[in-house]
Structure 1
Amino acid sequence: MSIDPRRLLVFREVGRGGSLAAAARALGWTQPAVSQHVQRLERDLGLPLIARTGRGSELTGPGRLLMRHAEAVAAQLDAATAAMSDLAGLRAGRVRVAAFPSASATLVAAAVASVTAAHPTLDVRLTQVEPEEAVALQVRGQCDVAVTFDHVDRRRSADAETVPLLRDPLLAVLPPDHPLGGHARVALADLAGDRWIAGCPRCSRQLVDSAAEAGFTPDIRHRTDDYVVVQSMVAAGAAVAVLPRLALTASRHPDVRVVPLDHDPYRTVSASVAATAVGVPAATALLEHLRRAAAALS
């Protein structure tokens, strides 16, 4: 025994209207079509549901019991329709974003502020993690949008839709009295004799690889992925560093000298949307506000 949901809802209209004719008018159908659906439902269940009378139709005992279930099903469908309408209209919904520190402090903060201003009832949640962990969160279904970076212009090979947001230039950060601090540009090889501060593992690899291409091995004395600490160490004359522009936008020490590097190296900042969030209005809205924030920073 099974109940066809469509026939159940047709039967509900008969019960509510008190006749096949009233149900036909409510549904915009012909009366024979309504009668056919009710008869098939009765055959499916093996029970009489409607007794035809001179005044129309009356529900039988089984019909009255089924009517209560039909009303409950209709109420649940109405609630589901309302919930989907709220999600589609951005009156409800949740989007979880994971981003690395300098992006969190700049473009993500701006995007979260603007999207929640436009849609105050959206539930937007940020987790600050490095790119590898952001991707891992997305793979585990714990993140809808991951903001990550690569030091080459490429798209991540993953089960996600990836959208480049901006190119983030890498800049030399020098002590205030460094002899190259006043130059318009500096080559990485010109800093071969300096002591260095290295950042996160991915950034450290990029520094070592770039230095090798420039013909030297950097003398790394300090390691920290906190760009505030990096700048404080540089300002104190302890070492030099290379930082992305986003980090300097988020927090700039007044005593460091920032000089562009030859060949204009950069990292590509991207947003990847989990396959389960593609097309979901909340995630789509956040991505659009990330694009706007990135354009403002470019």
Structure 2
Amino acid sequence: MDPHRLLIFREVARTESIAAAARRLGWTQPAVSQHLRRLERQAGLPLVVRHSRGIRLTEAGATLLRHADAIATRLHAAEDDMAALADLAAGTVRLAAFPSACATLVPTAMTNLARHRPGLEIRMTQCEPPAATTLVTSGEADLAVLFSHDSRLPDHGPDLQLIPLTDDPVRLVVPTGHPAATAAAPLTCLASTPWIAGCPSCATHLAHTCEAAGFSPDVQHSTDDYVVVQNLVARGLGVALLPQLALDAYHHPDVRALPLATTERALYLLCHREALQIPAVAETVRALQQAATAHRPQTPPAT
């Protein structure tokens, strides 16, 4: 059955008059009568009995009216849902982000969204940039937070949009009291010191940074966990490079973070170009941009 004709029939049934239904619909009376006759042919049964004061429903008409009412209710619910999504009162955004962003930027953004857009739900997945890019490309995530070292843009397909977010300074992390803390060129003091490396991208950045200082790092430990890194450093088992976001998330009291000139990573947001037209995604982008501004260090700490 044509659902449009069911809704016309519903107006006829509720007003008990073809003429009254036509006025409410803004149609002519013959047009409403024609749709009603076609619906009766589709149903195979008469739906109304016409009399001088209007119409009366047949048993088949009363049964069909219940279905027409249900359809109208669902359509109204759909309109309400679409209006809520358009007004950012509801919606789900699937977000992928690397660990230190998941511990800092993402919770800040989620808290602000929960306060101002309580119907907007964020579902977070923690993963490194290559995996996050794959999730966005495959449609399993709507938005990703990525990082890249040494001014290289993260790899992404032509259908994806990369949005610069902020810069995240990279610090040299040594035990408290280490001689490098007072050295004019701290990296050069660490040529023979064991190093701790992170993810593949971070390990490559470590190698390039040390090579620029004139040596190759002796990497004795590898871990993506910045809490583990700092615990190893605190016990004198190595030194490391860590981004400021990781130190914002957790800072061991027995390590010192030293600023390094021109050493940082760039943060980006990644999504399909069309996704920015979805209000919930666009609002999440704005919330992450505000969180990045709030977390941006004002002065390089050396603590």
TM-score (ref. length: structure 2) = 0.83
Separation in 2, partners of 1:191, 1:24: 87
Could you tell me which amino acid in structure 2 is paired with residue 281 of structure 1?
P
Separation in 1, partners of 2:130, 2:153: 15
Q: How does 1:113-128 map to 2 (within 5 A)?
A: 113-128=111-126
What SS does the aligned partner of 2:268 have? strand
What SS does the aligned partner of 1:180 have? helix
CA shift for structure 1 position 215: 4.2
- Which residue in the other structure is 1:211 paired with? 210
- Could you tell me whether the CA contact under 8 Å between 1:99 and 1:134 is conserved in 2? yes
Selected match of 1:143 from 141, 144, 152 = 141
- Which residue in the other structure is 2:170 paired with? 170
Q: How does 1:1-298 map to 2 (within 5 A)?
A: 3-42=1-40, 47-139=45-137, 141-151=139-149, 152-154=151-153, 156-158=155-157, 159-183=159-183, 186=185, 188=187, 191-262=190-261, 264-273=262-271, 278-298=276-296
Percent identity of equivalent pairs: 49
Unmatched runs of 5 consecutive residues or more in structure 1: none
Separation in 1, partners of 2:210, 2:99: 24
TM-score (ref. length: structure 1) = 0.85
Q: Deviations over 1:48-74 (max 9, x none)?
A: 433332111233444333323222211
Separation in 1, partners of 2:55, 2:217: 90
Q: Deviations over 1:211-270 (max 9, x none)?
A: 3455432111222222122223323333221111111121223333322223x1221222
- Could you tell me whether the CA contact under 8 Å between 1:99 and 1:130 is conserved in 2? yes
Separation in 2, partners of 1:149, 1:96: 18
Separation in 1, partners of 2:282, 2:41: 47
User: What RMSD over aligned residues (CA atoms) do the two structures have, in Å?
Assistant: 2.8
Separation in 1, partners of 2:201, 2:8: 62
Could you tell me which amino acid in structure 2 is paired with residue 165 of structure 1?
L
Separation in 1, partners of 2:226, 2:284: 26
Aligned positions, number: 294
- Could you tell me whether the CA contact under 8 Å between 2:146 and 2:154 is conserved in 1? no
Separation in 1, partners of 2:258, 2:75: 62
Separation in 2, partners of 1:155, 1:55: 73
Relative to structure 2, which stretch is displaced further, 26-35 or 131-140?
131-140
Separation in 1, partners of 2:3, 2:155: 44
Instruction: Assess, with a 3 A threshold, how the Cα gap between structure 1 residues 32 and 190 changes in structure 2: closer, same or farther.
Output: farther
CA shift for structure 1 position 13: 0.5
- Could you tell me whether the CA contact under 8 Å between 1:161 and 1:278 is conserved in 2? no
CA shift for structure 1 position 291: 0.8
Could you tell me which amino acid in structure 1 is paired with residue 201 of structure 2?
R
Could you tell me which amino acid in structure 1 is paired with residue 170 of structure 2?
L
CA shift for structure 1 position 138: 3.7
- Could you tell me whether the CA contact under 8 Å between 1:161 and 1:273 is conserved in 2? yes
- Could you tell me whether the CA contact under 8 Å between 1:273 and 1:283 is conserved in 2? no
What SS does the aligned partner of 2:182 have? coil
Could you tell me which amino acid in structure 2 is paired with residue 238 of structure 1?
L
What SS does the aligned partner of 1:154 have? coil
CA shift for structure 1 position 111: 0.8
- Could you tell me whether the CA contact under 8 Å between 1:162 and 1:270 is conserved in 2? yes
Could you tell me which amino acid in structure 2 is paired with residue 107 of structure 1?
L
Separation in 1, partners of 2:270, 2:30: 54
- Could you tell me whether the CA contact under 8 Å between 1:153 and 1:267 is conserved in 2? no
CA shift for structure 1 position 141: 4.3
- Could you tell me whether the CA contact under 8 Å between 1:116 and 1:124 is conserved in 2? no
Separation in 2, partners of 1:39, 1:187: 89
CA shift for structure 1 position 276: 8.0
Unmatched runs of 5 consecutive residues or more in structure 2: 297-303
Could you tell me which amino acid in structure 2 is paired with residue 280 of structure 1?
I
